[in-house]
Amino acid sequence: MASRKVLIGGGTGFIGGHLGDLLTSKGYNVLNVARMPATNNISWTKLEREGLPKRSLAVVNCAGQQFMDFTKSWTPGFKQNVQNSRVYTTKALAKAINTSNDKPKVFVVVTGVGAYEPSENATYDELSPTTGRDFFSRLTVEWEKAAHVDPPVRLVIIRSGAVIGRWGGMIKNMFLPFYLGLGGRIGSGKQYLPWIHIDDLTRLIQFSIENDAVTGVLNGVAPQVITNDDFTRSFARALKRPAFLPVPETMLNMLLHSERAMIMTKGQHVVPKRVLEYGFKYKYADIDDACKEVAHLLPKKHPLK
């Protein structure tokens, strides 16, 4: 029988954990590469020493130090950690694939729409150039370069927008202020906010693993283009709360450092052209549906368990 083993770098995190749950529910065997030992985990050192586990069907990288960790200052050391945790983990997985005699079919790497320079006028599809001018764009260029694997292994790079899910990313950070009626748009609210629901991102990864035609860069965003103001209204409506307290851009720049704050204060108009061409069907194509799904204070029963 063909192997159903999938190795997930950062499989303990928000995206990686969801992906592991989805793939397990579909009959795959999931193994994580993580820094802490656990039943389904192997360490990065073991990966480097012993190479890719035998009979791996696919390898996915979802590892990366969270840069929106507000307890950490934006120091050169922290920036280095943000960078290394993405570039070195991707390099380690790519090397394990390239040196293996028992190659997987596909390597999927989740990067970000930060690859594209923030702009109010440009529209970015997967063929648009990445400029590498700001910190996140420069980081993504290097991160994606690290993903190089030799054919016949397919490489799929998913540039994800802000992931909408109750227990991670943007929603986890914003839930309490919005729930308390203290939410509001960021700055003018006119900046684009490329987004995707966690279920769609993990389904897109599964789609990339299972469809041999899928290769190259995919914009992991919903087809509906919204602004920060649209999101603010939608999330507040879903929670049945007001959201009248705008967060001034200058305050975020001061508290977080403008280089990091730009992830919220600026945005890109990103479209999933290739994703749609491949025929991927979104479960959450409308931000109102996505926001309704995450507008609950307490944990719901996991849909896959």
Note the residues at the interface with ligand NAP (CB under 6 A): 10, 12-16, 34-36, 62-66, 81, 85-86, 89, 110, 112, 160, 162-163, 168-170
- Whole-number Å distance between alpha carbons of 264 and 31: 33
Q: How far is the CB of 236 from ligand NAP (least distance, A)?
A: 19
Q: How far is the CB of 283 from ligand NAP (least distance, A)?
A: 17
- Whole-number Å distance between alpha carbons of 132 and 145: 12
- Whole-number Å distance between alpha carbons of 122 and 114: 14
Q: Which is nearer to ligand NAP, 144 or 249 (CB)?
A: 144
Residue closest to ligand NAP, measured at CB: 13
Q: How far is the CB of 242 from ligand NAP (least distance, A)?
A: 25
Q: How far is the CB of 69 from ligand NAP (least distance, A)?
A: 8
Q: How far is the CB of 101 from ligand NAP (least distance, A)?
A: 26
Q: Which is nearer to ligand NAP, 64 or 118 (CB)?
A: 64
Q: Which is nearer to ligand NAP, 28 or 103 (CB)?
A: 28
Q: Which is nearer to ligand NAP, 196 or 243 (CB)?
A: 196
| DSSP string covering 133-148 | -SHHHHHHHHHHHTT-
Q: How far is the CB of 89 from ligand NAP (least distance, A)?
A: 5
Q: Which is nearer to ligand NAP, 16 or 187 (CB)?
A: 16
Q: How far is the CB of 158 from ligand NAP (least distance, A)?
A: 9
Q: How far is the CB of 2 from ligand NAP (least distance, A)?
A: 27
Q: Which is nearer to ligand NAP, 66 or 258 (CB)?
A: 66
Q: Which is nearer to ligand NAP, 163 or 261 (CB)?
A: 163
Q: Which is nearer to ligand NAP, 14 or 207 (CB)?
A: 14
- Whole-number Å distance between alpha carbons of 163 and 58: 22
| DSSP string covering the chain | ----EEEEETTTSHHHHHHHHHHHHTT-EEEEE-SS--TTEE-HHHHHHH-SPTTEEEEEE-----TT-TTS---HHHHHHHHHHHHHHHHHHHHHHHT-SS--SEEEEEEEGGGSPP-SS-EE-TTSPP---SHHHHHHHHHHHTT---TTSEEEEEEE-EEE-TTSHHHHHHHHHHHTT----BTTS-SB--EEEHHHHHHHHHHHHH-TT--EEEEES-SS--BHHHHHHHHHHHHT------B-HHHHHHHH-HHHHHHHH---EE--HHHHHTT---S--SHHHHHHHH--SSPPPPTT-
